[in-house]
């Protein structure tokens, strides 16, 4: 199979998986760059580029003169890792709680973006959102394009919130999902329900009542998310209260 990705990216993927899988335990040092690079069959410079990537993701911290520390992703890992964790968990069976958490986060952000969009969006932005939903509705038979359209809509919604921080979070998350189509696909609920939900959300945004939009969006996204979790064979204990957890 022909590889089109760059060498340092492939090496970064390999190393990331190894680290997340615990092959290089947190707190220890990575093997030396010279050794590791030959072991992976690339030059030291390529290895270094991969290490730099993972440093940016909060997985590694090179220490001049000493070694390259492996960090605990639970303490320092960035959001981009979630998709990799899910993909990795898919092979070991504990992807569902991770996906549930990711849905929880997305729901949170989506609700607020919707509320803010109702309060702040411009006419042009609302027209644009309509167009995006329409376009997406025509792609139900082309799953990859459908997913991509869904992510584009999420970005547009964030933009309509006029909150730059929200926009950038949306960028990070959608970019992550675009690179992990499998994870993104697990996200999609039934298309009919989703699209009709989008339509009604746009109505509420157009009415300009942020809190009404938030309330409505919360109820419906929770319903859609529940569908997704159930379809995945929901983990017992997902969304459970403390009392319920302690009882089990």
3 state SS of 29: strand
Q: Binding residue for its own copies (CB under 8 A) from 67, 128, 208, 234?
A: 208
1 counts as binding DNA under rule CB under 7 A: no
58 counts as binding DNA under rule CB under 7 A: no
Contact 187, 228 (CB under 8 A): yes
Residue 9 CB contacts under 8 Å (≥ 6 apart), including other chains: 50, 53
Minimal distance, residue 5 CB to DNA, in Å: 8
Q: Binding residue for its own copies (CB under 8 A) from 98, 177, 183, 221?
A: 98
Closest CB to DNA among 30 and 228? 30
Which partner in DNA, its own copies, none is near 68 (CB below 5 to 8 A by kind)?
A: DNA
Closest CB to its own copies among 200 and 218? 218
3 state SS of 5: coil
The count of chain residues that interact with DNA, using the rule CB under 7 A, is 24
Closest CB to its own copies among 36 and 160? 160
Nearest alpha-carbon partner for 175 in 148, 142, 208: 148
CA distance 239 to 35: 45
Minimal distance, residue 16 CB to DNA, in Å: 16
Pair type for strands 67-70 and 60-63? antiparallel
- Determine which helix (DSSP H) or strand (DSSP E) holds 74, and give its type and residue range: helix 73-76
Q: Binding residue for its own copies (CB under 8 A) from 5, 242, 247, 248?
A: 242
CA distance 163 to 158: 7
Minimal distance, residue 192 CB to its own copies, in Å: 27
Minimal distance, residue 243 CB to its own copies, in Å: 7
Stretch that binds its own copies, among 51-59, 127-135, 181-189, 212-220 (CB under 8 A): 51-59
What is the DSSP track for 213-245?
HHHHHHHHHHHHHHHHHHHTT--TTTT--HHHH
3 state SS of 9: helix
Q: Binding residue for its own copies (CB under 8 A) from 171, 180, 191, 227?
A: 171
CA distance 9 to 246: 43
Angle between helices 191-207 and 123-137 (to 10 degrees): 170
- In the chain, at which residue ranges do the beta strands (DSSP E only) sit? 60-63, 67-70
CA distance 107 to 117: 15
Q: Binding residue for DNA (CB under 7 A) from 14, 18, 23, 43?
A: 43
Q: Which residues bind DNA (CB under 7 A)?
A: 6-8, 29-30, 32-35, 42-46, 48-49, 51, 62-68
**Positions in the binding site for its own copies (CB under 8 A):** 8, 45, 48-49, 52-53, 56-58, 73-82, 85, 97-98, 101-102, 104-105, 108-109, 112, 116, 118-121, 155, 159, 163-169, 171-172, 175, 208, 210, 240-243, 245
């Amino acid at each position: 199979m022909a590889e089109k990705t760059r060498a340092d990216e492939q090496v970064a993927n390999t190393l990331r998986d190894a680290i997340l899988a615990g092959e290089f335990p947190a707190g220890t040092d990575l093997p030396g760059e010279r050794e590791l690079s030959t072991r992976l069959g690339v030059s030291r410079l390529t290895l270094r580029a991969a290490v730099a990537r993972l440093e940016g993701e909060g997985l590694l911290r090179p220490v001049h003169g000493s070694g390259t520390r492996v960090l605990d992703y639970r303490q320092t890992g960035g959001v981009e890792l979630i998709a990799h964790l899910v993909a990795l968990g898919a092979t070991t069976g504990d992807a569902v709680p991770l996906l549930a958490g990711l849905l929880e986060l997305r729901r949170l952000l989506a609700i607020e973006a919707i509320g803010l969009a109702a309060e702040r969006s411009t006419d042009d932005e609302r027209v644009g959102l309509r167009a995006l939903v329409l376009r997406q509705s025509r792609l139900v038979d082309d799953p990859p394009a459908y997913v991509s359209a869904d992510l584009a809509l999420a970005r547009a919604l964030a933009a309509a919130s006029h909150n730059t921080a929200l926009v950038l979070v949306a960028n990070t998350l959608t970019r992550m999902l675009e690179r992990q189509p499998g994870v993104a696909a697990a996200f999609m609920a039934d298309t009919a329900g989703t699209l009709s939900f989008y339509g009604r959300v746009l109505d509420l945004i157009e009415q300009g009542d942020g809190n009404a939009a938030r309330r409505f969006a919360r109820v419906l996204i929770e319903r859609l998310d529940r569908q997704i979790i159930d379809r995945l064979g929901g983990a017992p204990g997902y969304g459970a209260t403390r009392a319920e957890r302690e009882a089990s």
